[in-house]
């Protein structure tokens, strides 16, 4: 039996064609509620979500991946959740693994959980582009060095968080874009939170969203910028509220 309410937060942008499949792969009873954040979709993502019985929150304009998470996590907290699990609406990450993420928090006491693609199998053979693999390995190495962590896949989008952790961090100061996932795990690292990983296979299918190379470069540069800002903050050269511990 779960100890506390579990809510799945599901960002969705133009995922109407795959949303039903994503929901069907969730184990029965793995969560008390699914909050779909329709980020200004141009298709009928929200309508499909309502038909499937999800709690749908719609952004009138596209805010971005990070913006969707902020909305979803705040709503999960407001609804009394103890655990918030991030599951992508495009089915890129295997929804059947949700109970493993929840268990790490409710039974093993971790503050946040991230998936890792770097343990099971060969990610390149499974479809990860070589440029993305190189970016991932370099940035993960650098982040582990700077933030004194031991995480095998810093840039994995399959996550679960204790809402006690979410309440402590400055959500509104984090990125609205794809680097939100890195911003939030850095928040855990600088607070010395307990971080667990759940290995899973890589899923790169035609139905899944894929980051093009150009956006990947922008993403990588944004991570390097964040690391630089943190180092300036830590050295006292220029303090940043986002890195200040309350």
The CA-atom distances, in angstroms, between 105 and each of 53, 100, 184, 190 are: 26, 9, 16, 19
Q: Give kind and range of the element (H or E) at residue 198.
A: strand 195-199
Task: Give the residue-averaged pLDDT of 135-155.
Answer: 97
From the number of C-beta atoms within 10 Å of its C-beta (0-12, 13-18, 19+), residue 24 rates as: exposed
Q: Give kind and range of the element (H or E) at residue 229.
A: helix 213-235
Percent of the chain with pLDDT over 70: 96
Residue 2 above 80 pLDDT?
Answer: no
CA 190, 193, 198, 203 dihedral sign is negative
Task: Tell me the whole-structure pTM to 2 decimals.
Answer: 0.94
Residue 1 above 70 pLDDT?
Answer: no
Q: What is the pLDDT of residues 152-163, one digit of tens each?
A: 999 999 999 999
Q: At what angle do helices 213-235 and 130-147 cross, to 10 degrees?
A: 10
Task: Give the residue-averaged pLDDT of 18-40.
Answer: 97
Q: What is the pLDDT of residues 171-202, one digit of tens each?
A: 999 999 999 999 999 999 999 999 999 999 87
Task: Give the residue-averaged pLDDT of 78-106.
Answer: 97
What pLDDT is attached to residue 127? Answer: 84
Percent of the chain with pLDDT over 90: 87
């Amino acid at each position: 039996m779960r100890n506390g309410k579990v809510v799945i937060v599901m960002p969705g942008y133009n995922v109407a064609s795959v949303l039903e499949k994503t929901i069907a792969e969730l184990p029965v009873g793995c969560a008390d509620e699914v909050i779909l954040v329709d980020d200004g979709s141009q298709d009928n993502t929200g309508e499909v979500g309502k038909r499937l019985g999800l709690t749908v929150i719609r952004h009138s304009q596209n805010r971005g991946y990070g913006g969707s998470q902020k909305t979803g996590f705040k709503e999960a907290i407001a609804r009394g959740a103890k655990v918030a699990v991030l599951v992508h609406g495009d089915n890129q990450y295997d929804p059947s693994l949700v109970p493993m993420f929840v268990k790490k928090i409710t039974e093993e006491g971790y503050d946040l959980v991230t998936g890792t693609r770097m343990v099971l199998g060969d990610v390149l053979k499974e479809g990860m582009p070589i440029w993305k693999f190189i970016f991932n390995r370099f940035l993960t190495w650098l982040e582990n060095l700077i933030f004194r962590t031991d995480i095998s896949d810093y840039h994995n989008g399959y996550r679960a968080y204790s809402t006690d952790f979410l309440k402590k961090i400055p959500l509104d100061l984090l990125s609205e874009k794809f680097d939100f996932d890195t911003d939030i795990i850095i928040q855990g690292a600088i607070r010395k939170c307990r971080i667990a990983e759940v290995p899973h296979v890589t899923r790169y299918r035609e139905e899944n969203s894929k980051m093009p190379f150009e956006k990947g470069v922008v993403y990588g540069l944004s991570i390097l910028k964040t690391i630089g800002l943190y180092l300036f903050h830590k050295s006292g050269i220029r303090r940043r509220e986002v890195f200040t511990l309350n």
